[in-house]
Amino acid sequence: MSYMQHMKSDRQLHDKYHRRAIEGIELGPTNPLLWNLIEQHQLKSGVDGKIVEVNSESPKEISVAKEFLDIVNNILSAPQDNRDWSSDPNRGKVFMFVIRNKAVGICSTERISEGKWMVYDTGELVPKQKIPLAIGISRIYVSHKYRRMGIGLRLLFAVQQHSIYGLTLTKYQIGWSQPSEFGGKLALSFNGVKHKSGKMLIPIYEER
């Protein structure tokens, strides 16, 4: 009996994890003073959503963001991401896209100074070239149910507008760490450049 209960518990945990990966993370009852609202949007589907910035002084917000990022790392088979944002907003930030009190997209960033060009279709780095960058995209993810709605690009636009106080970044000041298939396509559409060879390049950096 205990074995069957254990199997049932494992199955329930698996189902909960799978549901969150597909549909996003429920934020639960929240104080309206929490979650720093920075933008509101109506998506192509007519659904209303908003972008919030995680407050590095709010344990609840940090906990939700870390939980979401743990799911992302598991899905992408990625190593632990840089989480300096959780202690110092000047070293990085986390933005989440929220629909009906559910976090369905997330983007974590870190402050950087330089990067390199990567050939998109081969993953090779362009040798002997360094490019100045200001912000690195550590992780970006949109739950499967909410893809093809422009959420990824809206998160990137928020990064441009709200990463550094009083400054709007150009898209070429933003680099990528370990772009997945989803992230690579997003990077290509956001700030990919065409080399004279005809190859497409995206700016990448080495995550700390």
For residue 28, what are its two tokens? 């639960």
Q: What pLDDT, on the 0 to 100 scale, is given for residue 33?
A: 47
pLDDT in tens, the chain (208 residues): 454 555 555 555 555 656 777 888 888 765 554 678 888 888 877 788 999 999 998 898 999 999 999 999 998 888 888 898 999 889 999 999 999 889 999 999 999 999 999 999 999 999 988 999 999 999 999 999 999 899 999 999 999 999 999 999 999 999 999 777 777 889 999 999 999 889 999 999 998 7
CATH class in words for 24-204? alpha beta
Look at residue 11 in the predicted model and tell me its pLDDT: 55
- In terms of C-beta density within 10 A (0-12 exposed, 13-18 middle, 19 or more buried), how is residue 166 classed? exposed
**pTM of this structure:** 0.87
CA distance 82 to 92: 9
- Write phi, then psi, for 131 (nearest 5 degrees): -125, 140
Please tell me the predicted confidence (pLDDT) of residue 16: 61
Quick check: helix, strand or coil at residue 36?
strand
Where do we find the tokens 């070293």? Answer: 91
Give the Cα separation of 37 and 35 in Å (integer): 6
Give 173's DSSP letter. Answer: G
Residue 5: what pLDDT?
A: 52
